[in-house]
Amino acid sequence: MTRPVGVATPTQHDEVLERRQQFRAEMRAALGRAPRVLLISANPNVTTFVSPYGLEILAAALVAELDAEVHILDPFLPGTIDFALTAQILRFKPDVIGINFRNLDIAYVADIDSKKILSRSCVPTLRTVLARIRQAGFARTRILLGGGGFAAASADLLRAFDLPYGVIGPGAEAITRFVRAVVLQTSMEEVPGLVTAEDEGRPRRPADATWDNDLVPLCSVPHRTILRERNVFFPLRTSSGCGLRCSYCIEGRSQARKARARAAPRITEELELIQRQGASRVMLADGELNVLYSDVYEHALRLLAEAGLGWRAYCLSIKPAPELLRAMQRSRCEGILLTFDTAADSVLSQIGRPGTVASMVAALDSYAAAKLPVTVSLLFGLPGETDATVAQTLALIRSYPGVKFTYSCGARIYSNTPLAEHARRHPEHVYRDEQSDPLGVSLYSEPGPPWELAALLRGALRDTPNAERFW
Ligand code: B12
Ligand code: SF4
């Protein structure tokens, strides 16, 4: 089993210390030992290898708050056998099992030749994990689901697997309070972000990221070793959440509902930790790095520059402040993934993103003038897309031959989003994979099927080497 190692730094506030003392005493009194929590990563790494960053933060919370004994297990780690999971559960005898379901599927794949959706679902992975847990005879009321993939289809997943509880949003406080409620046999009401199958994606008490942001993860050694050996980007978050609500995106629902920056000392501490782990490149794991303006980004970029680490980040297309641009230029930027989606104002307003195409283009101009390596991401087929809006976006691609563009066709419909609501009213624009159950992959695509859009764009962009289809 994997024992997470690392150093969690307790916040020095009296209130926090008092709470932690109380929680730990309660656990000892009820159990006569520390609570045991098993955290399982149900992520088959569909595209690139990633570490279970969310679970590492939960592990830090459980140790800091409850002095818990925590194991992080990944039955899909290369060289691991998934059926060993049952034996590991029987041996460790956890009081609670927390499962991270990071990806529901790989989001977008419409195949031109077969005229089908070929996206790969991660639901079978979750099914395997739950089957192993059941084989160990573990009570379903002590299982808690969470993560981005869970938030995207919470009610459907709970119903499909007959599970009572999941958490939407940041999980540090939630897992701590869940363990406490299980051990003390008290109500689950205090668990922030808790949802049941009836809640349809709306927690009764939303979670926020205060606890999560204040922790330094307890890292899973095997995962971090693979990141180092394969020279993959190590995750590092400077903020959490997104205050915007783009209609197709689960970000503002799966993370905190309001973007919050982390305190600079926590970022410094975590950066030092990943340097010791041998990181040479970092993915700034924020939904969008610049979604709220704060000097914490500049602080992080300065630290990265001093440490000589490369970095990548998703960035919203808003004009970067001169200080932020300078900090980016002075550091080893390996990629800014600019969220653009469309060059048509009519589509932009339909997806509920503030701003205009002119303001997004101004942002692109700033990054391009600063000679930063920008990749613009586009999503064709959103509500309001027409032949004319497709032509507008094609014109944008052609007018920036020096900038790389990636595009997808058809927007993944997640059941907990406004796009799902819109799709229910416009079933003529919905395309499903061959699975008929509610957890199958469905895409929204206007004005025609996603594979037709993809074929049209392939033809139109034949002589445009700066544009590439994402999948
Ligand atoms: C950075 C990032 C990447 C990087 C990762 C780099 C790295 N080395 O880690 C890259 C670019 C590689 C990437 C790839 C992909 N990604 Co990505 N990624 C992100 C992003 C922006 C941040 C991920 C992260 O580290 N977050 C910070 C951690 C701490 O948050 P977390 O893991 O969600 O955990 C917190 C909570 O969810 C909760 N929680 C988590 N688990 C549990 C468990 C329990 C029991 C509880 C109570 C709570 C809980 O508490 C945690 C701590 O606060 C997220 C969006 C986001 N803001 O999270 C998308 C996101 C996770 N990615 C997504 C997708 C689709 C993908 C890809 C499939 C894209 C593709 N087609 O290639 C691949 C899949 C990679 C794989 N595993 O194979 C989707 C997943 C949802 C879905 N559609 O199923 C997200 C949510 C984006 C979105 N808005 O749609 N990604
Ligand atoms: S700005 Fe980006 S992260 Fe935020 S809701 Fe929109 S697409 Fe999602």
Per-residue pLDDT tens, the chain, 471 aa: give them: 333 333 344 445 789 999 999 999 999 999 999 999 999 999 988 778 999 999 999 999 999 999 999 999 999 888 888 789 999 999 999 999 999 999 998 877 888 999 988 888 899 999 999 999 999 999 999 999 999 999 999 999 999 999 999 999 999 999 999 999 999 999 999 999 999 999 887 898 999 999 999 999 999 999 999 999 999 999 999 998 887 889 999 887 776 667 889 999 999 999 999 999 999 999 999 999 987 767 888 889 999 999 999 999 999 999 998 988 999 999 999 999 999 999 999 999 999 998 999 999 999 999 999 999 999 999 999 999 999 999 999 999 999 999 999 999 999 999 879 999 999 999 999 998 876 566 888 999 999 999 999 999 999 999 999 999 986
Ligand 2 neighbourhood includes 156 CB (under 6 angstroms): no
* 412 CA closest ligand 1 atom index: 83
Q: Which residues contact 168 (CB under 8 A, 6 or more apart)?
A: 146, 150, 151, 154, 193, 195, 201, 203, 206, 207, 253, 254, 416
Question: Within 13 A of 305's CA, how many CA atoms are on the CB side?
Answer: 13
Domains and CATH numbers, the chain: 1-219 (3.40.50.280), 233-410+445-471 (3.80.30.20)
In the chain, the amino acid numbered 9 is T
Q: Is 339 in the pocket of ligand 2 (CB under 6 A)?
A: yes
Cα of 66 to ligand 2 centre, how many Å?
A: 34
C-beta separation of 284 from 311 below 8 A: yes
Q: Which residues pair with 175 in a beta bridge?
A: none
Q: Measure 242 CA to ligand 2 centroid, in angstroms.
A: 6
Residue located nearest, by CA, to atom 56 of ligand 1 = 287
428, 449 in Cβ contact below 8 A?
no
CB 251 less than 6 A from any atom of ligand 2: yes
Ligand 2 atom nearest residue 245's Cα: 5
Helices 123-135 and 84-92, axial angle in degrees (round to 10): 50
Task: Please report the atom of ligand 1 found closest to the CA of residue 101.
Answer: 41
Distance (Å) from CA 389 to ligand 1 centroid: 30
pLDDT of residue 436: 58
Residue 316 beta carbon below 6 angstroms from any ligand 2 atom: yes
pLDDT at 219: 97
CA of 288 to the centre of ligand 2 (A): 7
CA distances from 178 to 52, 123, 181, 394, 464 (A): 20, 24, 5, 50, 53
Ligand 1 atom nearest residue 108's Cα: 71
The reported pLDDT for the residue numbered 435 is 67
What is the model's pLDDT at position 12? 57
Atom 6 in ligand 2: which residue has the minimum CA distance? Answer: 246
Cis amide leading into 447 (omega within 30):
yes
pTM: predicted TM-score of the whole model, two decimal places: 0.95
Q: Among residues 275, 212, 283, which one has the least CA distance to residue 60?
A: 212
Output the pLDDT for position 3: 37
Closest CA to 200 of 165, 155, 157, 160: 155
pLDDT of residue 422: 96
Q: Give the ligand 2 atom nearest the CA of 341.
A: 7
Tell me, what's the pLDDT at 370? 96
Phi and psi of 115, rounded to 5°?
55, 45
Strand 281-284 with 310-316, pairing: parallel
Tell me if 126 sits within 8 A of 101, measured CB to CB: yes
Give the closest residue (by CA) to ligand 1 atom 54.
287
